[in-house]
A and B are shown apart, each in its own frame.
Chain A
Amino acid sequence: MPSWIRAVLVVALLYGFLVGVKLLESGVKGLGSETAGGLFDGITNPLAALFVGILATVLVQSSSVTTSTIVGLVATGLLPLETAVPMIMGANIGTSVTNTIVSLAHARENDEFRRAFSAATMHDFFNVMAVAILLPIELMTGFLQRSATWLTDLLPVGADATFDSPIKGAVKWGASQVEHLFEPFIESATAFGITMILVGIAIIFFALAYITKNMKVLIAARIERSVNAALAKSGLVGMAVGVLVTIAVQSSSITTSILVPIVASGMLMIRNAYPITLGANIGTTVTALIAALATGAPDGMTIALVHLLFNVVGILIIYPWGKIRYVPVNLAEKLAGIAVTRKWIAVAYTTIVFIAIPILGILILS
């Protein structure tokens, strides 16, 4: 397929993604306050919300889908910001399962597996560490939410502003066209709302998957050149490469999964891959920010900014300080050292951390 057609397709998919978020929002609104209000009644515990974020992301294999959905739900007022914040943090942890699974493919060769598994799980450890530090602080002070609210007020979608852009109008028109398609067939408002939520999520999922796929093809050479240039570099250069590549492909999993075989081959040192991975954490927040633009609701923008702030603050707390900077890397290397002799531990770790604990957590805490 010629590049220009692919580029046009990406723009169309991006529009589809925004329409999906709008449909999700209007679907929730259509449910009526009683039905909608009941959906998240059980998830008032922040830890339960965190586990929902992890599990949802593991199931859809994309934090972008989870965070965009959360933005849509927050924009309707259905999901309170207080509950959404830990969910967003959970999405950050859940997204690191993809490269952990990718690393299991290297299990046949011990040294290669040790490097691959370390490269993958350092992302897990960093994200868990960031949540362990920031979630209690957030629960005590609400500083992420308050900072994000303050930032939202500065933007055109701020609390007192009426944000009307041509894009917003076009997205609203697209969403109404989809609604008109279903209206003749569904009479009940509740059923219509649920259908719009499901259609919205399906469109978000489809659009993001194909945006990622097409963007990866479109900019594959640029990804290769920038990763190659960052191989011997560390710190900010790697982080910037991680941010750029992830924004371009709209998926942190793609960025971090590309790193796994390169680290496994020994070409890229795990400590040089580390900042690229952290950059991916920041880059992935752009999807939720785009989704927030579609809703135009201040709370939607606030939760998207919470996602960005959480990742930036997490890096600022952990990365600049020599003593704790490499804690996630060291923990990942220790775990890989154990897993290399007993491979079942790697599988057990992935299953327990990303599936068993979140399910148990949700069951117990809800």
Chain B
Amino acid sequence: MVMEFFRGGPSNELEAVEAWIVGMLRDGNDVFTAATDALFGGGKSKATKKEVRETDKGINEAQGDVRRALMIHAAVNSADLPLILQYSSIVKDAERVGDYSKNIYDLVKYGANFEGADDEDGLDDYRDKVSRLILEAADVFEAKDAGGAQRLLGKADVFLDQYDAEVKAAYNSTAGTKNAVARALYFRFLKRTTAHVMNVLTSLVQPLDRLDYYDEAKEDR
């Protein structure tokens, strides 16, 4: 409280905001891992439900902390307005990672289970890719590594096309409605998760007005 004034900490509160966003991404990966573990054989359980809900709740609270810190920073130091606007935009993207992971867990509640499916290896491969993407994005953002961000954006852009192809395949599948819906939604949620992680990464390589846009030619990135 009052001692906060004397306590050491980052020399700029935006550094604390960056740390919060990195933490939200890593926590988002924890929710993603818990939800997909359940989808790949773990099944629904009280413990997983609790882990998913509570971690997501923590992410939501961190989003509130970031917004509050940004508002106070704006009141004290309005010269940082571009960064304030940027962070207030990407904090929402970081928060959405947890949200879509929660949606994946909802699939488990509906009865979806990819364990033992013919295409389990392929589905599992996507889960690993997305989890790695989230963690690498957190590292790249923490290091403010623009080169790393560009590399990850290029990699993630390929995933987006692959998800679309998988959704199309699910639509045309004859393996039954439940399987098709589960896969279509799974890939839809992976696509949204990937897109939100990409939005966070664009903050390292794009000016404020181009935030969230990564669909131009790769050579222009």
B residues in contact with A223, CB < 8 Å: 5, 76
Residues of B in contact, count (CB < 8 Å): 20
Taking the closest CB of chain B, its distance from the CB of A228, in whole angstroms, is: 5
Contact at B1–A224, with CB atoms within 8 Å?
A: no
Contact at B69–A224, with CB atoms within 8 Å?
A: yes
Contact at B4–A225, with CB atoms within 8 Å?
A: yes
Taking the closest CB of chain A, its distance from the CB of B63, in whole angstroms, is: 14
Contact at A227–B1, with CB atoms within 8 Å?
A: no
Stretch at the interface among B6-14, B132-140, B159-167, B191-199: B6-14
Contact at B75–A225, with CB atoms within 8 Å?
A: no
Contact at A225–B68, with CB atoms within 8 Å?
A: no
Q: Do A226 and B4 form a contact, CB below 8 Å, given A216-B76, A261-B75, A265-B71?
A: yes
Contact at A222–B12, with CB atoms within 8 Å?
A: no
- Is B77 among interface residues, defined by CB-CB distance under 8 A? yes
Contact at B5–A262, with CB atoms within 8 Å?
A: no
Main secondary structure of the interface of A (DSSP, over half): helix
Taking the closest CB of chain B, its distance from the CB of A232, in whole angstroms, is: 10
Using C-beta atoms within 8 Å of the partner chain, give the interface range for chain A: 20 to 34
- Is A36 among interface residues, defined by CB-CB distance under 8 A? no
A residues in contact with B75, CB < 8 Å: 227, 258-262
Q: Using a CB-CB cutoff of 8 Å, which residues 1-25 of chain B contact chain A?
A: 1-2, 4-7, 9-13
A residues in contact with B6, CB < 8 Å: 222
Q: Which of A222, A225, A245, A261 contacts B74 (CB 8 A)?
A: A261
Stretch at the interface among A23-31, A58-66, A236-244: A236-244
Contact at A231–B13, with CB atoms within 8 Å?
A: no
A63, B208: Cα distance in complex, Å? 40
A residues lining the B interface (CB < 8 Å): 3, 216, 220-231, 233, 237, 240-241, 244-245, 248, 258-262, 265, 267
| New A-B pairs, 7, CB < 8 Å, besides A224-B13, A261-B71 | A220-B77, A222-B5, A226-B2, A227-B76, A244-B5, A258-B76, A259-B75
